[in-house]
Amino acid sequence: MCIFCKIIRKEIPNKTILEDDNFLAFEDINPQAKVHILIIPKTHFDSFNTITPKIMGEMTTFIQKVASITEVSHSGYRLITNIGDNGGQEVKHIHFHLLGGEKLGGIL
C-alpha cells in the first residue's frame, strides 16, 4: 500500500487544504517553497502514464481551486509531476506539486 493511499484512508495525518470525493490536496511535509501543496486523486494511478483523460480533466479544475485557495493563482505558481524513476518519481501514485507564494528559481 502506498503512502498516499494511507493518507487518503486517514491512516496517516495530513494538513488538508482541499478535499472532495475524488481528490485531496495537502501540505508537503518537506516544503520547497513558501506554498508547497501535494494534489492527488483518491483513486490510485501509478503515474501520469496510467491516469485517464477524464480524471485529468476533473483534476485540472480541482488544482485551479487549490491555486485560488492558496492565493497563488494571480501571482503565479509552478505545477510539477514526476514520472518514473528517471523523472524522479518517489511515490508511485500520481501527484502534482503546486509551488508558489514567492519568486521561484531553479532549472525551469
- Whether 106 is covered by a domain: the verdict is no
- Whether 71 is covered by a domain: the verdict is yes
79 has a pLDDT exceeding 80: yes
* Average pLDDT of the segment spanning 18-27: 98
In the chain, the number of structural domains is 1
How far, in Å, CA of 70 to CA of 98, rounded?
A: 10
The pLDDT confidence band at residue 108, using thresholds 50, 70 and 90, is: low
> Residue 78: is it exposed, middle or buried by C-beta count within 10 angstroms (0-12/13-18/19+)?
middle
How do residues 30-57 score in pLDDT, each as one tens digit? 999 999 999 999 999 999 999 999 999 9
List the CATH number of the domain containing 81.
3.30.428.10
How far, in Å, CA of 11 to CA of 4, rounded?
A: 10
The pLDDT confidence band at residue 94, using thresholds 50, 70 and 90, is: very high
Domain hosting 60: range is 3-100
For residue 28, what pLDDT is reported? 97
- Whether 67 is covered by a domain: the verdict is yes
* Average pLDDT of the segment spanning 89-106: 94
How far, in Å, CA of 77 to CA of 93, rounded?
A: 22
From 36, 44, 93, 95, the catalytic residue: 95
For residue 88, what pLDDT is reported? 92
6 has a pLDDT exceeding 70: yes
Answer for the pair 21, 86: CB distance below 8 angstroms, yes or no: no
* Average pLDDT of the segment spanning 15-32: 97
107 has a pLDDT exceeding 90: no
Active site residue 95: yes
Taking alpha carbons only, the member of 98, 87, 12, 99 closest to residue 46 is: 87
